[in-house]
Amino acid sequence: MSQDLHTTEEAQKDIATNWVSSSRFFFYVSVFALLALVVGNCSKVFSSGFKKPNPEVNTSSQYKPEYK
């Protein structure tokens, strides 16, 4: 029985051996990445804004049409 497994402090901190810590780490990284994408896209839309196009409309199809 001299080949017993010994757990060290380094093995507990390793991502490959400790699945609980690694899943928690990947969860926080994914939440942070998703939050960064949402905040980045919202700030881009807010800074550029939606520019309303002003298309040219025929006079006969306006709200108050003008006929010739």
In a domain, 4, yes or no: no
Residue 67 lies in a domain: no
Nearest by Cα to 22 from 31, 13, 30: 13
Collect all residues with Cβ–Cβ distance below 8 Å to 66 and sequence separation of at least 6.
Answer: 59, 60
DSSP state of 38: H
Distances (CA, A) of 65 to 30, 56, 58, 68: 55, 14, 9, 10
Domains of the chain: total:
1
Q: Domain residues for 15?
A: 9-61
Per-residue pLDDT of the chain (68 residues; tens, 9 = 90+): 556 566 665 555 666 666 667 788 899 999 999 999 999 999 988 888 777 888 888 888 888 878 76
Any domain includes 34: yes
Q: Which residue has the tokens 């409309």?
A: 57
Residue at 66 is within a domain: no
Does residue 30 lie in a domain region?
Answer: yes
